[in-house]
Chains A and B, each alone.
Chain A
């Protein structure tokens, strides 16, 4: 029995007012099955479903450390590429000199997927995956922290003044879809900058461990006392305490340990485990609107490898984690958009340690049912010497154009200028 995935086949498409009643009923049944028939749980879910489901759930994966976009999405059609990367270049789909397994997978005759990203090829062919190349911000410090902070705050460069994160501003701009205590989760122990300055966001390392270890005391009694301690006060910690208590209440009814994936196995990695938990939250219908995940380790200054090695294993984890997630939630991908981004790319030329130093543009992925995929978007600036910016791939697409378009079209945020101040929107048409 696959109750949660069947919801969406009942009317063949997304939720419409006519189908809402059916939807609620099957949702309740699905949850009851998931939660072992707990009526309290079904109640949480029903409250969550009372409102129109009027937008996607957004999952943002941030690749920290600066992903080498030139080896992830290989511009094999640009002849300068192999000159810049004599040791690290990935052969094109027709490069006779290398075995087939070590060639890029053709996307459009010019760009190719790094072979370790192979699990994503079917999504590209199925138009669910779009890729944007030569994307980035205007931050030129080539500092991880400045560049990440710029992107997570949704700015074009650090000179902008706002301190809150772009996801937090989005959440603040939108009325909550449900009364959920968990509008946004960050899978990790630390709240990322993108979710800072908002409310209703919570950082969780592992849902299995999200419970009060009352050590022989009754958790409910302890929680009541905590509720008293945290009842008033508007400072960030006190507000977070109240959110935490609400989530504890919801999680007690969920028992995440018994969750079974319905798709390809998740890799045994932090990203895989994180996406597995996001899938669980989505299927449990707890009112999740935004999830933020990290994958670190992309700072490949030394010996990054080609079709195997350091970078390849990172890419493989990203691809198989996303594949596991998409196949697990199945038709629900219709109302999920996944964005994979990084703070900057690497230098166009490899360094002497067969690694790459900090550069400028990289690439970005958008995956989801509403994506107009099957295309590599962006304006390719070229890798010929005179086309480079201080030795780096030029940024020709502002990363905020994609995020703004996703928020507007998929999450129905009509005020994206408040999320990205000063951006003059030029949608790429990357989502429907």
Chain B
């Protein structure tokens, strides 16, 4: 008897299941285990898909059913708690990355390209495989909010530390603690030139972006005089440049470089003295009503697709009354109705690629193979030069479609080094037209009998090759939105 490729794979799958039971290769908690059922639950699935697209990077196989069983309120609380176990193989892979394991000073011996590659790898792996998807969304949000260009002034070597101790540490914590951490992050201080900000010779770059982009927003009510005064408050905030035993490369406040004369910021006298001047400014900004509005507006656009008066009110009120607690702000902002009713949001390239990898249950190393495509699509991570982060307007990304199509074609064909998609396993070995219906449900979360589902299934079904069907599913306009 001749064994076809499909049969062989099916046998392999059975063997794999056996191994899993025996505790051999596919241990529970691994990112590679396909859930027992990847079928869509009966009934409309669009609300579930919308929620998983907005509070995370899109559904992986089986998640629509899982969410439907859980319900919105419990799902949101679980995601806000962000305490789901990380898959062991994700943890192992991250542990191997020097950008996390090494002190910035020790990383200097690595080529900058390798450091940037690992930073991106860490971001991609966690976005694809972490079950704490809302935290990963917030990490994406804050990484753009506190954007650092890895190619400016060796920032790449310091960004790993910024990623763990500023962005990830506080992604769902309090804004006050986060802004303090960011202000003492060597990566940020270097990126915005604050190491050149000294008594008598202030450099305004950090002070300006701190108010314009990190806290108050450009119309938040500060003046050019405030910028100059805040710059003076942060004189002497820099990075240790002395020998290794002093902690070279870490944050250092140098009182000799600090401007000790009195300052006035937003109508307040700043008289903390020394490093406390800066802390006083940060606390003032972190709890300012303009900051609450600015963040609520940005978060609304990011999660809901628009900043309605109502949403901004809800968000900023919760922000202020909770003392800048990010969980409370999100809880107030992300009502089920607001998430379901907002307009569609264009997936930026990273969002698109991660959603594709999740939908197709890809086995990826998050490495160069994926990163080269992200670059072609216009969003190489940690490489946006300006401090405002990657743009969020749809029109900014209309030029990236060809690169998205090329990614979809390469991914489904197995031409993306370091990434593998097992379409045969995913499609349940259904030959022919059935695979089209299966792909519509996997990638678009649509039952093939809905209007969208049947339109897509009939276009995909006209091609015999399942890899081509899957490529088209990722190329479709529907998959460019979340």
5 A-B pairs with the lowest CB-CB distances in the bound complex, closest first: A203-B399, A352-B201, A189-B378, A240-B398, A196-B395
Given known pairs A189-B378, A191-B398, A301-B196, the reply for A237 and B477 (CB within 8 Å) is: yes
B20 interface hit (Cβ, 8 Å): no
Q: Is the CB of A205 within 8 A of B406?
A: no
Interface residues of B in 357-398 (CB under 8 A from A): 376-378, 385-386, 388, 391, 393-398
Q: Is the CB of A205 within 8 A of B376?
A: yes
Q: Is the CB of A141 within 8 A of B477?
A: no
The interface residues of chain B lying within 8 Å CB-to-CB of A352 are 198, 200-201
B150 CB to nearest A CB, Å: 15
A18 interface hit (Cβ, 8 Å): no
Complex CA distance for A191 and B396, rounded to whole angstroms: 5
Complex CA distance for A357 and B224, rounded to whole angstroms: 13
Complex CA distance for A212 and B376, rounded to whole angstroms: 13
Q: Is the CB of A229 within 8 A of B399?
A: no
B302 interface hit (Cβ, 8 Å): no
Q: Is the CB of A244 within 8 A of B402?
A: yes
Closest to A217 in B: B468
Closest to B414 in A: A215
Partner of B377 from the list A189, A239, A240, A301 (CB cut-off 8 Å) is A189
Mostly helix, strand, loop or mixed at chain A's interface? loop
B174 interface hit (Cβ, 8 Å): no
Interface residues of A in 369-408 (CB under 8 A from B): 390
Complex CA distance for A216 and B409, rounded to whole angstroms: 10
B21 interface hit (Cβ, 8 Å): no
Bitwise interface map of A from 18 to 41 toward B, beta carbon under 8 Å scored 1, else 0: 000000000000000000000000
Further pairs besides A225-B459, A352-B198, A358-B204: 5, Cβ < 8 Å: A226-B405, A237-B480, A248-B402, A352-B201, A357-B205
Complex CA distance for A196 and B396, rounded to whole angstroms: 7
A177 interface hit (Cβ, 8 Å): no
B376 CB to nearest A CB, Å: 7
A186 interface hit (Cβ, 8 Å): yes
B441 interface hit (Cβ, 8 Å): no
The interface residues of chain B lying within 8 Å CB-to-CB of A226 are 405, 472, 475
B256 interface hit (Cβ, 8 Å): no
A197 interface hit (Cβ, 8 Å): yes
B446 interface hit (Cβ, 8 Å): no
Closest to A211 in B: B402
Given known pairs A190-B378, A352-B200, the reply for A210 and B402 (CB within 8 Å) is: yes
Complex CA distance for A244 and B386, rounded to whole angstroms: 28
A143 interface hit (Cβ, 8 Å): yes
Bitwise interface map of A from 210 to 246 toward B, beta carbon under 8 Å scored 1, else 0: 1011111100001001101110010111111100100
Q: Is the CB of A142 within 8 A of B400?
A: no
B193 interface hit (Cβ, 8 Å): yes
A32 CB to nearest B CB, Å: 27
B481 CB to nearest A CB, Å: 7
Given known pairs A226-B472, A357-B204, the reply for A390 and B224 (CB within 8 Å) is: yes
B463 interface hit (Cβ, 8 Å): yes
A146 interface hit (Cβ, 8 Å): yes
Q: Is the CB of B398 within 8 A of A296?
A: no
The interface residues of chain B lying within 8 Å CB-to-CB of A222 are 405, 409, 468, 471
Complex CA distance for A68 and B200, rounded to whole angstroms: 23
The interface residues of chain A lying within 8 Å CB-to-CB of B205 are 301, 357
A54 interface hit (Cβ, 8 Å): no
Q: Is the CB of B480 within 8 A of A229?
A: no
Closest to B346 in A: A237
A134 CB to nearest B CB, Å: 20
The interface residues of chain A lying within 8 Å CB-to-CB of B208 are 142-143, 358
A209 interface hit (Cβ, 8 Å): yes
Question: Of residues B402, B405, B459, which shows the largest number of chain A Cβ atoms within 10 Å of its Cβ?
Answer: B402
B193 CB to nearest A CB, Å: 5
Q: Is the CB of B409 within 8 A of A214?
A: yes
Q: Is the CB of B399 within 8 A of A186?
A: yes
Complex CA distance for A143 and B219, rounded to whole angstroms: 11
Q: Is the CB of B410 within 8 A of A213?
A: yes
Bitwise interface map of A from 148 to 191 toward B, beta carbon under 8 Å scored 1, else 0: 00000000001000000000000000000000000000100111
Q: Is the CB of A204 within 8 A of B399?
A: yes
B385 CB to nearest A CB, Å: 6
Bitwise interface map of A from 123 to 151 toward B, beta carbon under 8 Å scored 1, else 0: 00000000000000000111111100000
A351 interface hit (Cβ, 8 Å): yes
B203 interface hit (Cβ, 8 Å): yes
B260 interface hit (Cβ, 8 Å): no
> Mind listing 19 A-B residue pairs with CB under 8 Å?
A64-B386, A141-B212, A143-B218, A145-B386, A189-B400, A190-B378, A190-B391, A196-B396, A204-B399, A209-B376, A212-B409, A215-B409, A225-B459, A229-B477, A233-B477, A236-B398, A238-B477, A301-B193, A358-B208
Complex CA distance for A204 and B398, rounded to whole angstroms: 10
A202 interface hit (Cβ, 8 Å): yes
The interface residues of chain A lying within 8 Å CB-to-CB of B376 are 189, 205, 209
Interface residues of B in 190-228 (CB under 8 A from A): 193, 196, 198, 200-201, 203-205, 208, 212-213, 218, 224, 227
Count residues on chain B whose CB falls below 8 Å from chain A CBs: 53
Complex CA distance for A112 and B280, rounded to whole angstroms: 47
Interface residues of B in 433-482 (CB under 8 A from A): 456, 459, 462-463, 465, 468, 471-472, 475-477, 480-481
The interface residues of chain B lying within 8 Å CB-to-CB of A204 are 399
B401 interface hit (Cβ, 8 Å): yes
Complex CA distance for A241 and B376, rounded to whole angstroms: 16
Q: Is the CB of A212 within 8 A of B402?
A: yes
B77 interface hit (Cβ, 8 Å): no
A1 interface hit (Cβ, 8 Å): no
B415 interface hit (Cβ, 8 Å): yes
Given known pairs A209-B376, A237-B481, the reply for A302 and B203 (CB within 8 Å) is: yes
Closest to B456 in A: A229
Interface residues of B in 302-357 (CB under 8 A from A): 344, 346
The interface residues of chain B lying within 8 Å CB-to-CB of A390 are 224
A110 CB to nearest B CB, Å: 30
Q: Is the CB of B378 within 8 A of A216?
A: no
Partner of B401 from the list A64, A144, A197, A241 (CB cut-off 8 Å) is A241
Complex CA distance for A140 and B225, rounded to whole angstroms: 12
Closest to B225 in A: A390
The interface residues of chain B lying within 8 Å CB-to-CB of A190 are 378, 391, 396-397, 399-400
Q: Is the CB of B218 within 8 A of A144?
A: no
Closest to B378 in A: A189
The interface residues of chain A lying within 8 Å CB-to-CB of B397 are 190-191, 237
Complex CA distance for A374 and B57, rounded to whole angstroms: 56
Q: Is the CB of A229 within 8 A of B224?
A: no
The interface residues of chain A lying within 8 Å CB-to-CB of B477 are 229-230, 233, 235, 237-238, 241
Given known pairs A196-B396, A229-B475, the reply for A237 and B401 (CB within 8 Å) is: yes
A350 CB to nearest B CB, Å: 10
Q: Is the CB of B204 within 8 A of A197?
A: no
Partner of B203 from the list A189, A191, A212, A357 (CB cut-off 8 Å) is A357
A137 CB to nearest B CB, Å: 14
B248 interface hit (Cβ, 8 Å): no
The interface residues of chain A lying within 8 Å CB-to-CB of B405 are 212, 222, 226
Partner of B218 from the list A141, A302, A353 (CB cut-off 8 Å) is A141
The interface residues of chain A lying within 8 Å CB-to-CB of B406 are 212-213
B460 CB to nearest A CB, Å: 8
B264 interface hit (Cβ, 8 Å): no
A328 CB to nearest B CB, Å: 25
Complex CA distance for A213 and B409, rounded to whole angstroms: 7
Closest to A248 in B: B402
The interface residues of chain A lying within 8 Å CB-to-CB of B388 are 145
B413 interface hit (Cβ, 8 Å): yes
The interface residues of chain B lying within 8 Å CB-to-CB of A212 are 402, 405-406, 409
The interface residues of chain A lying within 8 Å CB-to-CB of B377 are 189
